[in-house]
Amino acid sequence: MLDATLKQQLAAYMANITTPVELVTSLDDSPKSREVEELANEIAALSDKVTVVRADDDKRRPSMMIRRAGTDIGVRFAGVPLGHEFTSLVLALLQVGGHPSKAAQELLDQVRNLEGDFAFETYFSLSCQNCPDVVQALNLMAVLNPRVSHVAIDGALFPQEVADRKVMAVPMVFLNGEVFGQGRMELEQIVAKLDTGAEAKAAEKIAAKDAFDVLVVGGGPAGAAAAIYAARKGIRTGIAAERFGGQVLDTMGIENFISVPHTEGPKLAAHLEQHVKDYDVDIMNLQRAEKLIPAASEGGLHEVVLANGASLKAKTLILSTGARWRQMGVPGEDAYRNKGVAYCPHCDGPLFKGKRVAVIGGGNSGVEAAIDLAGIVAEVTLIEFDSQLRADAVLQNKLRSLPNVRIIVSALSTEVHGDGEKVTGISYKDRTTDELHHIPLEGIFVQIGLVPNTEWLKGVVALSPRGEIEIDARGATNIPGVFAAGDVTTVPYKQIVIAMGEGSKAALSAFDHLIRLPTTSAEALAA
């Protein structure tokens, strides 16, 4: 199961186990059960503190519980925790084995003090880059609090269960048998949903903060770069982000990040956050900005009102709220989101094995999605509005070589159809003949670009007709002391490396603005 290099790395991690751990398996005669058995034995062979126990006491087979010996403390994987979930497996081994988490102590105490009984189940796919964060967060909670349990379930191995519970997007989390949440969630978010007083406490804590010299709004590549460059100047820097990492978290493979031949979005996001933490930056995660109140006069304080009611003030602002997946905007799309309408082919593709799907969009993202899905599903129909595909030639050639792919161009998607529970088809209009067509299918993957997150800035900051923040060559907006960077701006070519450069430039421009303020403001800055 594990190659020599991986075993060597795993053995090094397992040296941190201080408390005996049991791998309790429930198996049948299936090939996947044999894989779980082999994996458990290989892990146990790497440490004298790990043993394998065949119990066959769980209804889901194959499954493996990682349990602290002599206790009920543990977590369970239903399936083979490899792929993106291998990291979850390693962390579970360490945490069950007594190795402490690196999460903030305040957050760990909050988990320990949760009142109630919480039985979590998470459906994941091995190709889902958003799933590990959810699995790891719930695993940690189960280790910390005996009234919390968690089972991570590979949806591809339990198709009937997935169908019965209407799981059509991952990660999907159930709590005590009821849907708790869908999509990427971090530990702070989960705890906040369970701890009813958490939001009020967070708002109170934020409201008590002093004004920043530079406040960055948004935690993607642009925001992270801006925070680092500002902090390096020795000025009071804060960053408020709805989710640190931003759109990068939803990106699978990254092969154009200069000097790094290949990485993945969640990994890059983690590196960005760690780099920011290396500096004196006040990181306020899970904070959504809802209103900007510009300073009344030059050198005054700008105010950002957050969704929890608290406000942050700063002498300068850097707006880097990024962008999100663009929707088709047709009837039925919202009604069947996560019920067949999806935006992440890597995450949700395995749930549509053997089914018919459509991909909306003929750019690089759409064509790449269609290629990937063609290896999983029965049939892929790619629908493009333009008269031709816009993807790179090498991708188009690959797509056209696949036998189970159909390409439709000059097509306007008009409606998503469903039976009340799931998608059943899509309608489109032929733009050359105005003829309407209907395609029966089970899934629709939307890949038509991004839309900037600027709704909260309308009427305050100058925006382009496309909703992007208008900036000059220095990253300045039309409001003195307010700068912007990244995909949320009018800068062309939405790329990670470009966003980082723009964030750095905006921070340097903000610092330059600060040192040129009137004397009274400059003295206040120095103080």
Look up the CATH number of the domain holding residue 144: 3.40.30.80
Cα 389–392–393 angle (5° rounding)? Answer: 85
Q: Are residues 188 and 69 in the same domain?
A: yes
Q: Are residues 440 and 468 in the same domain?
A: no
Pairwise CA distance, residues 343 & 327, whole Å: 9
pLDDT tens for 251-310 read 777 888 999 999 988 899 999 999 999 999 999 998 999 999 999 998 899 999 999 999
pLDDT tens for 371-405 read 999 999 999 999 999 999 999 999 999 999 999 99
Structure tokens given for 422: 């799931």
Q: Is the pLDDT of residue 78 over 60?
A: yes
Q: Give all strands of the β-sheet with 172-175 in edge-to-edge order.
A: 50-54, 21-26, 63-68, 74-78, 148-154, 118-124, 172-175, 178-182
Q: Are residues 124 and 210 in the same domain?
A: no
Q: For 361-410, where are the E strands, in sequence order?
A: 379-383, 405-408
Q: Are residues 404 and 371 in the same domain?
A: yes
Check residue 394 and give its pLDDT: 95
Q: Are residues 456 and 426 in the same domain?
A: no
* Residue 276 placed within a domain: yes
Average pLDDT over the chain reads: 94
Q: Are residues 187 and 307 in the same domain?
A: no
Pairwise CA distance, residues 244 & 224, whole Å: 9
Q: Are residues 235 and 183 in the same domain?
A: no
**Residues of the domain holding 187:** 4-195
* Residue 373 placed within a domain: yes
Structure tokens given for 188: 């702070």
Q: Are residues 185 and 204 in the same domain?
A: no
Q: Are residues 127 and 176 in the same domain?
A: yes
Phi-psi sector, 218: left (phi>0), alpha (psi -120 to 50), beta? left
Residue 423 neighbours by CB distance under 10 Å: 27
Q: Are residues 465 and 507 in the same domain?
A: yes
Provide the CA 444 distance to its chain's centre, in angstroms: 20
Pairwise CA distance, residues 58 & 27, whole Å: 9
* Residue 273 placed within a domain: yes
CA distances in angstroms from 312 to 188, 205, 241, listed in the order given? 20, 11, 12
End-to-end C-alpha distance for the chain, whole angstroms? 60
Question: How long, in residues, is the chain?
Answer: 527
Which has more confidence, 526 or 125? Answer: 125
Pairing of strands 311-319, 302-306: antiparallel
Contact 292/267 with Cβ under 8 angstroms?
A: no
Residue 45 neighbours by CB distance under 10 Å: 12
* Among the listed residues 76, 95, 74, 73, the one whose alpha carbon sits nearest the alpha carbon of residue 18: 95
Check residue 264 and give its pLDDT: 87
* Residue 331 placed within a domain: no
Provide the CA 162 distance to its chain's centre, in angstroms: 22
**CATH at 418:** 3.50.50.60
Average pLDDT over residues 337-366: 93
User: Which percentage of the chain shows pLDDT scores above 90?
Assistant: 85
Q: Is the pLDDT of residue 525 over 60?
A: no
pLDDT tens for 20-65 read 999 999 999 999 999 999 999 999 999 999 999 999 999 999 999 9
Confidence of residue 206 (pLDDT cuts 50, 70, 90): very high
Confidence of residue 526 (pLDDT cuts 50, 70, 90): very low
* Residue 440 placed within a domain: yes
Structure tokens given for 433: 């003949």
Average pLDDT over residues 146-172: 95
The tally of domains found in the chain comes to 3
Provide the CA 434 distance to its chain's centre, in angstroms: 39
Check residue 519 and give its pLDDT: 63
CA distances in angstroms from 157 to 31, 166, 202, 270, listed in the order given? 11, 15, 40, 29
pLDDT tens for 433-447 read 999 999 999 999 999
* Residue 419 placed within a domain: yes
Check residue 520 and give its pLDDT: 56
pLDDT tens for 485-512 read 999 999 998 999 999 999 999 999 999 9
Check residue 200 and give its pLDDT: 82
Name all contacts of 427-436 with Cβ < 8 Å and 24+ positions apart. 428/383, 431/385
Q: Which of 426, 448, 470 is the last residue of a domain?
A: 448
Which has more confidence, 68 or 518? Answer: 68
Pairwise CA distance, residues 523 & 505, whole Å: 24
Q: Mark 470-481 as b/e (b = at least 16 C-beta within 10 Å).
A: ebeeebbbebbb
Contact 19/47 with Cβ under 8 angstroms?
A: no
Reduced to 3 DSSP states, what percent helix, strand and coil does the chain have, rounded to the nearest 5?
A: 35, 25, 40
Q: Are residues 215 and 240 in the same domain?
A: yes
Structure tokens given for 384: 């493009």
Q: Is the pLDDT of residue 522 over 60?
A: no
Q: Are residues 45 and 182 in the same domain?
A: yes
Pairing of strands 74-78, 148-154: parallel
Which of 97-106, 321-330, 462-471, 516-525 is predicted least confidently?
516-525
Q: Which of 389, 423, 448 is the last residue of a domain?
A: 448
Listed in sequence order, the residues at least 6 apart from 507 whose beta carbon sits closer than 8 Å to its beta carbon are: 214, 216, 225, 226, 227, 228, 229, 230, 233, 318
Q: Is the pLDDT of residue 483 over 60?
A: yes
Pairwise CA distance, residues 357 & 440, whole Å: 9
* Residue 216 placed within a domain: yes
Check residue 199 and give its pLDDT: 77
- Overall pTM > 0.95: no
Q: For 274-362, where are the E strands, in sequence order?
A: 281-285, 289-293, 302-306, 311-319, 323-325, 341-342, 356-360
Structure tokens given for 378: 């029965």
Pairwise CA distance, residues 487 & 450, whole Å: 9
* Residue 72 placed within a domain: yes
Peptide bond into 62 cis (omega under 30): yes
Q: Which of 381, 415, 448 is the last residue of a domain?
A: 448
